[in-house]
Amino acid sequence: VNIRRESTSYADMFRGIHWSTNLTVSLLLLVVLSTPASAYLDGGTGSLFVQVVLAGVLAGLVMAKSVWFSIKDGIGRIFARRTGSTHSDR
Amino acid sequence: MGSDGSSRAGPGLRIVTAEKRLHSSFRDPSGYVFIRDGVVYRHIGHGYLPHYRQLVESGLYDHLVKLRLLIPHEEVDPGLSGADAALVLKPERVRTISYPYEWSFGMLRDAALATLSIQRHALERGMVLKDASAYNIQFHRGVPTLIDTLSFEPYVEGKPWIAYRQFCQHFVAPLALMSLVDARFGRSLGLYLDGFPLDFASRLCPRTSWLKPWLLVHLHLHARAQQSRGLHAARPSPSVGSQGRPGSFSRQSLVGLIDSLESLVKGLRWNPPKTTWRDYYAETNYSDQASEAKRRIVRSYLDLLGPIERAWDLGANTAEFSRLIAERGVATVAWDIDVAAVEIAYRRIKEQGPEALLPLVQDLTNPSPGIGWALKERDSLVDRGPVDLVLALALVHHLAIGNNVPLTQVAQHFSQLGEYLVVEFVPKEDSQVQRMLKSREDIFEDYSRDGFEEAFGETCEILRRDAVPDSERTLYLMRRRG
């Protein structure tokens, strides 16, 4: 009963937003706000909301960065191998 | 008195001395800081013990201490706490407590980057920071260091960062204002103990700040989301839940959040403009000979004093003279009203040391008061003293003539701050004072060398008096009476 009530309450905050997104964010905030006993800080609903909204973008950027670094590393390794072969030729 | 905080009053009778709990240590139920016999301890409650164990066993504690990001401690007898403690820690003592509203731009920026670095290292070992208060950072041995060992909790997959709001209010908003509007905004952090309100900062920042993508998100849109409590200001992006698990704030998202905040903080810059004080040493009427003579006299006073532990240089400018004290290993604070001078001093200390020197912003005509809950959460300037030595060079005329403070009151206040005083008297004949009197009536009849000695003579014993060669000025070494 409590869970349903909280879920409804968070859903109310996002009235006007598409119902599927609304449900997703509500369920996530439910998880987010049921924090362990040690969390004494108020994360702020608006602040948690911003993070939830940005989640995909932030993760995407990390992935893009990781891909970029592996490409850079790969190129670096090719050049290193060439330099290495030059040394062995000597 | 035993080093374990107890004393023996007679055979078999053990009296445990009372602990004094710090007024600022009450928000987090995980534990608190207390002082017993002048030693600082941290009480850890039973509820927090598993988290503390994880901090240590994961290797995070050792790693952060090695990087000088976390204050080192030793575990001591839990009986030292008056309450039922699971553990008691004895952290390394921070010699000078300072507050974010006394830091220059670069200091707050470095504290922000240290916080993010700690969060990143914590995440790598399955933990996160459960708070991101700027007050948890202290400049310890010259570098920003987390002093709250209980700031860690286990990372739970899918959860956003609970301290994100606090980080933005304590670091992002003031740094943006200091960088984009005016570096003196740092001082206003004293008005808002839980950080600068985001909506207020958003309104004060220039329109061009909306063009910085991460500032747009973490300050402007964040402020609007806070105002509308997440109602309609920021529409959920279709990308929410695109990472396989619907609606999850994945670990990768959290790493991305840290990356974006780090990128934002690194992108905020401020370089000290040319100000009166910054160029003081270049533009003053002091000749090189007089300046060198002044150094020699100050050094001779320090030799006379012998070993001391703490010193404050009031009106220190870019900390040229504070350096003479700090180089002897004395924990020295270089206080100055000018944020540019403090920033220059901080940058130089970062490059060259000495680590015992800490530059801080302070308006001596309106010094940091006790603030926060019951006015005791953050100590006033006076409460953080007295120190062994107060240095006040070329300062008295600014207080007496620039701010109309009678010399007797200057003497009383200095004596309240330190046991030994090194004070420079600048007479009316000096061109600096002449310049100050140019635009106002000279109502300072008592402002003379005799008047100075009479005023300070009421509270201090004058030990040495030396004329600074090639100038009209005199240096005094004094000791507070009683």
B132-154 burial: b if 16+ Cβ within 10 Å, else e: bbbbbbbbbebbbbbbbbbbbbb
Distance CA B163, CA B470 (A): 57
Alpha carbon distance B346, B142 (integer Å): 9
Tell me which chain B residues have a C-beta less than 8 angstroms from the C-beta of A64.
none
Taking a C-beta distance cutoff of 8 angstroms, is the pair B236, A19 a contact? Answer: no
**Interchain CB contacts (distance < 8 Å): A and B:** 168
pLDDT for A16 beyond 50: no
Which of B333, B324, B389, B329 has its CA nearest to residue B361?
Answer: B333
- Contacts (Cβ under 8 Å, ≥6 apart) of B433: B397, B401, B426, B427
Tell me if B477 sits within 8 A of B422, measured CB to CB: yes
Provide, as residue numbers in chain B, all residues whose Cβ is less than 8 Å from the Cβ of A50.
164, 217-218, 221-222, 225, 234
> What pLDDT score does B1 carry?
34
Instruction: List the structure tokens of A86.
Output: 């030059």
Angle formed by the axes of helices B251-267 and A45-89, to 10°?
Answer: 80
Please identify every stretch of chain B with a pLDDT value under 70, giving residue numbers as ranges: 1-17, 229-247, 275-286
Whole-structure pTM value: 0.86
A30 and chain B in contact, CB less than 8 A: no
CA angle B223, B226, B232 (to 5 degrees): 100
What pLDDT, on a 0 to 100 scale, did the predictor assign at position A1?
33
Q: Chain B contact for A57, CB < 8 A?
A: yes
Q: Indicate which of B48, B254, B257 best probes the interface with A, i.e. most A CBs within 10 Å of its own CB.
A: B257
Residue pair B274/A80 in contact by the 8 Å Cβ criterion = no
Q: What is the DSSP letter of A1?
A: -
Question: What average pLDDT does this structure show over A21-39?
Answer: 53
Rounded to the nearest angstrom, the minimum Cα separation between B160 and chain A is 6
Which one-letter DSSP state was computed for residue A43? Answer: -
As a dihedral over the C-alpha atoms of residue B161, residue B166, residue B168, residue B174, rounded to 10 degrees, the angle is -160
For chain A, give the longest Cα–Cα distance: 78
Flag if A55 and B228 touch (Cβ within 8 Å): no
Closest CA to B183 of B332, B337, B359: B337
The whole-number pLDDT of residue B9 equals 38
CB < 8 Å to B260, chain A: 58, 61
Comparing A89 with B454, the larger pLDDT belongs to B454
Residue among B210, B235, B218, B94 nearest B165 (CA): B218
Q: Is B346 exposed, middle or buried (0-12, 13-18, 19+ CB in 10 A)?
A: buried
Which chain B residues contact residue A32 at CB under 8 A?
158-160, 249
CA–CA separation, B432 vs B394, rounded Å?
Answer: 10
**pLDDT, greater one: B43 or A19:** B43
Residue to substitute from A14, A32, A58, interface B, most B β-carbons within 10 A: A58
Token digits of residue A22: 């609304």
Residue A7: pLDDT over 80: no
CB contact under 8 A, A16 and B227: no
Angle between helices A19-33 and A2-13 (to 10 degrees): 120
Q: What pLDDT score was predicted for residue B239?
A: 38
Nearest to B433 by CA among B467, B397, B468, B472: B397
Q: With an 8 Å Cβ cutoff, are B162 and A62 in contact?
A: no
Q: What is the pLDDT of residue A31?
A: 52
> Cβ of A51 and B161 within 8 Å?
yes
The string of DSSP letters for A66-81 reads HHHHHHHHHHHHHHHH
For residue A25, give the chain B residue with the closest CA.
B247
A11 touches chain B (CB under 8 A): no
3-state SS string over chain B? Answer: CCCCCEEEEECCEEEECCCEECCCCCCCCCEEEEEECCEEEEEECHHHHHHHHHHHHCCHHHHHHHCCCECCEEEECHHHCCCCCCEEEEECCCCCCCCHHHCCHHHHHHHHHHHHHHHHHHHHCCEEECCCCHHHEEEECCEEEECCCCCEEECCCECCCCCHHHHHHHHHHHHHHHHHCCHHHHHHHHCCCCCCCHHHHHHHCCHHHHHCHHHHHHHHHHHHHHHCCCCCCCCCCCCCCCCCCCCCECHHHHHHHHHHHHHHHHHCCCCCCCCCCCCHHHHCCCCHHHHHHHHHHHHHHHHHHCCCCEEEEECCCCCCCHHHHHCCCCEEEEEECCHHHHHHHHHHHHHHCCCCEEEEECCCCCCCCCECHHHCCECCCHHHCCEEEEEECCCHHHHHCCCCCCHHHHHHHHHHHEEEEEEEECCCCCHHHHHHHHCCCCCCCCCCHHHHHHHHHHHEEEEEEEECCCCCCEEEEEEECC
Task: Give the pLDDT score at B275.
Answer: 61
pLDDT of residue B211: 96
Inform me whether the pLDDT recorded for A25 exceeds 60: no
Q: Which residue shows structure tokens 């941290």?
A: B42
